[in-house]
Amino acid sequence: MAGNKTFTMIKPDAVENGHIGAILEQITASGFRIVALKLTQMTKNDAEEFYAIHKERPFFGELVEFMTRGPIVAAILEKDNAVEDFRTLIGATNPEEAADGTIRKKYAKSIGENAVHGSDSDENAQIEGAFHFAGREMF
């Protein structure tokens, strides 16, 4: 059975461009309940650990540089079928390929700077949520 939680980050580009409010509004209007939320900034070590799965990819250095250049909004979201439904809501990694109305279509400028993160499995949602939040910050 699919889990009911996912983890997201509003990435530095979308924070810089003033889209925090609009993105959180679209997320909650789409039926997700916010169970943890904060503005924070990842260190280089944090980003290298968070994205360790991509460390051999050619874009890894750029990705770490981007994700650490300013604050992000981290959140844990709850909804039935959360991981899959949230990835549908954000759209394809490359905003040019993202469906109309998706968060990446509306707010992302490029495949690298693509406005939001969404966990890709129930297991990673759990790991990523625990990476950013202590138990007493989850409601």
- The entry of ligand RTP, Mg ion, none near residue 112 (CB within 5 to 8 angstroms by kind) is ligand RTP
Q: How far apart are CA 70 and CA 45, in angstroms?
A: 15
114 binds, options ligand RTP, Mg ion, none, Cβ within 5 to 8 A by partner type? ligand RTP
CB 76 within 8 A of CB 35: yes
Q: Which residue has the tokens 């439904």?
A: 85
Binding pattern to ligand RTP, positions 106-125, x when CB under 6 A?
-----xx-x--xx-x-----
Contact characters 40-79, ligand RTP, x per CB under 6 A: --------------x----x---x----------------
CA separation, residue 3 to residues 66, 107, 124, 125 (Å): 30, 27, 11, 9
Say which residues have a Cβ less than 8 Å from residue 29's Cβ, sequence separation at least 6: none
> 71 touches which of Mg ion, ligand RTP, none (CB within 5 to 8 A by kind)?
none
Q: How is residue 134 written in tokens?
A: 């202590």
Binding residues for ligand RTP (CB under 6 A): 54, 59, 63, 93, 111-112, 114, 117-118, 120
